Amino acid sequence: MSILIKDCDWIVTENATRDVLQHASVLIDHGEIVEIGEVKRGADRVIEGAGKLLMPGLINCHTHLSMTLLRGYADDMVLQDWLTTKIWPLESMLTSQACYYGALLGCLEMIKSGTTTFMDMYFFMEDVARAVKESGLRAVLSYGMIDLFEPERGKREIEKTNGFIGFLKAMNCPRITLALGPHAPYTCSEETLLWAKETAEREHALVQTHLAETRQEQARFQREKGMKETEYLHKIGFLSANLVAAHCVWLSSDELKILKETGVSVAHCPVSNMKLASGGVAPLPEMFEQQIPVGLGTDGASSNNTLDMFETMKICALLHKLHRWDPTVMPAQRCLDLATIEAARVLKLDQKIGSIEPGKQADLILLNMRSPYFVPIHGKDTVISDLVYTARSSNVNTTIVDGKILMHEGKVLTLDEDGILKKAQSEALKLISRAEA
Ligand SMILES: [Zn+2]
């Protein structure tokens, strides 16, 4: 099927020259962008772009989708207490059904807030994959391995990961790709970390892990192992260009050099870091200097509490400006890049998505610009600022992935919104009552 998105007020391409087009159209055929600009050809379906802005769908480089069920359950706590007294006990009571509805709830939120691709790490990933397939979204999914340095537990985690690899192969959904997910250097043994790395190489998959999230974590690790987390991971041979490291807040300049040398990418989660008071700000300007690929993530909804990438872009810009006393340190264009084309680079999907260019897959969102806060627009030079500092996820009107319309005029077409809201609410309450029984 072909789709013509006709006469958009603005098209933000995120192509190599970051072109912003005014009064232009996009033609999609068989899921692919085939023409941009003044399109003369017709199409099977026409979507009116007047009063709207078309841009690449946003890419969330780090989340734990089914944690939507834990949203708002345990706020305003210190990370380690939060994990040990609230989150882990609750997670030990998770079921396949809870994770499925939590994932559907997350998919719904992402479709409605303009995210078209995400990278996930959690449990019951077969159920997450089912939800993603039904929703029409694109995802990179990993089972979160935690062995707590117990060999028997390590074996079980490997079995579960192997089961998930087999499941994804059988599912064979072209929008879902595999990643390996050893949770963190402080929850996984060397054997588990290296098994994940080697398996990822064999399966041509990415690896994701949490790295240097808080000062306390980094300090304790250094006390116990006599070296920093990144130094340890480098020493055991875990770091590679396949790795996406979430957070990277507490990194020294030597650790940044190691990340650069080994080709590691970073998923920066500013909202989660601020909410859990990680005690510092990830050194993004230095990462940019080292040309380390960086993308934005929300982290799970229990530490955010949304999956809203518009909010994440704005907070990212404001946080770094405030922290460095420098309003030029994180310009709007850079922030938008971190949620689109640069995020695609982090996920090794930049040949396929992340910008509006002929030959790329049609992962697109349309924003309704008929809002008081979008007036005035001074011209194409300020459109990017409007997107990062002014736009809200509630402006997302239409979401398209792989040329398929997932939401049109605010109505989600692939999922039963009311049904999912009801089921997710009841699954969340059941989960909490199991944990507190
Ligand atoms: Zn995380």
Ordered mean pLDDT values, 10 residues apiece, the chain (437 residues): 97 98 98 97 96 98 96 87 88 95 98 98 98 98 98 98 98 98 97 98 98 92 96 98 97 96 98 90 97 97 95 98 96 98 98 98 98 92 94 98 98 98 97 88
Q: Which residues surround ligand 1, an ion (CB under 5 A)?
A: 299
Per residue in 289-342, pLDDT (tens digit) is 999 999 999 999 999 999 999 999 999 999 999 999 999 999 999 999 999 999
What spacing in Å lies between the alpha carbon of 275 and ligand 1's midpoint? 13
Per-residue model confidence (pLDDT) at position 356? 98
What spacing in Å lies between the alpha carbon of 106 and ligand 1's midpoint? 15
What spacing in Å lies between the alpha carbon of 290 and ligand 1's midpoint? 24
What spacing in Å lies between the alpha carbon of 32 and ligand 1's midpoint? 32
What spacing in Å lies between the alpha carbon of 122 and ligand 1's midpoint? 9
Cβ atoms 295, 264 nearer than 8 A: no
What spacing in Å lies between the alpha carbon of 189 and ligand 1's midpoint? 18
What spacing in Å lies between the alpha carbon of 38 and ligand 1's midpoint? 43
Cβ contacts of 204 within 8 Å, gap of 6 or more? none
What spacing in Å lies between the alpha carbon of 68 and ligand 1's midpoint? 13
Per-residue model confidence (pLDDT) at position 225? 94
What spacing in Å lies between the alpha carbon of 408 and ligand 1's midpoint? 31
The H or E element that residue 256 is part of is helix 253-262
**What does R_g of the chain's alpha carbons equal in angstroms?**
21
**DSSP structure class, residue 361:** B
What spacing in Å lies between the alpha carbon of 213 and ligand 1's midpoint? 9
Per residue in 136-190, pLDDT (tens digit) is 999 999 999 999 999 999 999 999 999 999 999 999 999 999 999 999 999 999 9
What spacing in Å lies between the alpha carbon of 210 and ligand 1's midpoint? 6
Per-residue model confidence (pLDDT) at position 435? 85
What spacing in Å lies between the alpha carbon of 426 and ligand 1's midpoint? 25
Other C-beta atoms lying within 10 Å of the C-beta of residue 409: 10
What spacing in Å lies between the alpha carbon of 46 and ligand 1's midpoint? 39
Per-residue model confidence (pLDDT) at position 8? 98
Tell me the CA distances in angstroms from 346 to 187, 351, 422, one per residue in order.
24, 12, 35
Per-residue model confidence (pLDDT) at position 82? 84
Q: What is the rounded CA–CA span in Å between residue 73 and residue 78?
A: 14
What spacing in Å lies between the alpha carbon of 358 and ligand 1's midpoint? 34
Nearest to residue 240, comparing CAs of 277, 274, 202, 271?
202
Residue with tokens 């405030």: 322
Model confidence, pTM: 0.98
What spacing in Å lies between the alpha carbon of 30 and ligand 1's midpoint? 35
What spacing in Å lies between the alpha carbon of 171 and ligand 1's midpoint? 26
Kindly report the length of the chain.
Answer: 437
